Structures are given as C-alpha cells and as structure tokens.
Copies of this chain bind each other. A is one copy, B any other.
Amino acid sequence: MRFFAVGFRTDVLRGEEMTKGESTRQRIIEQAAPLFNQRGFEGCSMKDVLEATGLEKGGVYRHFASKEELAAEVFRYSWTRAANLRREGLDEVDGAVEKLRYLVRRFADTTGPIAGGCPLMNTAIEADDGNTLLRGLVHAGIKDWKKRLCAIVEDGIAAGEIGREVEPRWVANSIIAALEGALMISRMEGNRTAVRDAAATLESMLNGIAVG
C-alpha cells in the first residue's frame, strides 16, 4: 500500500513538474516566435526573449542551451503553425487540381499565424549564407512542402485529372516560388495585391495542367 502510494505520489509530482517545465518551455517558444520572425535570428537577442517572457536568464537557459537551440525550436513551431494553417480544410476538398487551387487561394487569403511574415522565407533568407542548423531546418521545410504538393500532382496524374506530361516538381516549385515571392512584395507594399496577382497566374497554370 505504501509502495503504491509513494509510487503514485512520485508519479504525480514528476508529472506535475514535467508539465510545468514543459509548459514554460512551450511559452518561451511561443513568445519568442514573433520576435525571431520579425527581427531575425541576428536581430533578436536572448535579452529580447527575457524581456518578452519576463523570465530570468536561468529560466530560459534551463530549457535552451543557446539562442541557436531556441531559434531552431521557434522555427519548428512557427513553420508547423504556418504550414498547418495554410492547408487547413484541404482534406475536405475533392480532386487534385481543386486541392491545388484551394491551397493557392488559401495562401492568398490567409494572414500568417506568426507576426512578421512567412517563417520559412524569413529564415531561408537569413540562413542561406550562415547558420547551418537553421539552414537545415528550412531546407527540410521546403522539401516537405514540395513533397506534399508533388503527391497531389501525382495523385492527379494517376487519376487522369492532370496531364501525364506534367512534371510534379515543376508545379510544386512554381506554386511555392510565386506565393513566397509575392508575399515579399505584399509585405513591402502593405496590401495583398501582389499575392492575389501571383495566385491568379497560378490559377491559369493549374487550368493549363488540368485534363479536358
């Protein structure tokens, strides 16, 4: 009985401690996300993170050994949130071309979940000549995005919806390039015109690859 009680008690305590530690860790990531996304890895200091979270130095370094480690977790979090938001509702859309159209429109109409623009592009531009860890994560993010788009195109070809001559990689690259590049213009101009213009071009590209 004592064994079970102690065992139980310990489990509960350990559980509570882990939950608190994990939730602090998660809170740091969430509060650091817009800072890194707006100011960049170089432009955001651990001091900025301490100020935003209201934690002592030890409270942050307990969870992240370095700014780089925190930035990597922040990128994972921000990119997962952005990518999930952009494909929300996709499963309910029928047909490959319609799915691609949906993704293009959704990108054009959806404001990013983390202030500061697209975490993938922001981190790509900063890490392309530098930070190896972040560069690897961005590369993996692009790879995953392309893979998902290619899979839809391949399904469309298999279903006879998209022409057999269509190269899935070409479609994926064209969609990602146009949307991300347009977002850069839109953020500079302070309106969504460029993103909508790019979406219109992609719509006509998708009309072109659809059979019949």
Contacts and interface: CB of A to CB of B under 8 A. Distances in A.
A43 B125 CA distance: 12
Most chain B beta carbons < 10 A, residue from A116, A128, A139, A204:
A128
Interface residues of A, number: 46
10 contacts: A38-B129, A40-B43, A40-B126, A116-B129, A121-B181, A128-B187, A139-B189, A174-B201, A176-B194, A177-B180
A43 B142 CA distance: 24
Interface in A111-132: 115-117, 121-122, 124-126, 128-130
Contact of A122 (B39, B125, B201): B125
Nearest to A202: B201
Contact of A142 (B42, B117, B138, B189): B189
Contacts of A184: 121, 124-125, 128, 177, 180-181
Contacts of A185: 142, 173, 176-177, 180
- Sort A-B residue pairs by CB-CB distance and give the 10 closest, nearest first: A181-B181, A177-B181, A177-B182, A42-B43, A173-B197, A42-B42, A38-B129, A180-B181, A174-B201, A125-B125
Given A125-B126, A170-B197, 7 more contacts: A40-B126, A169-B193, A170-B200, A170-B201, A176-B185, A178-B178, A180-B185
A139 B194 CA distance: 13
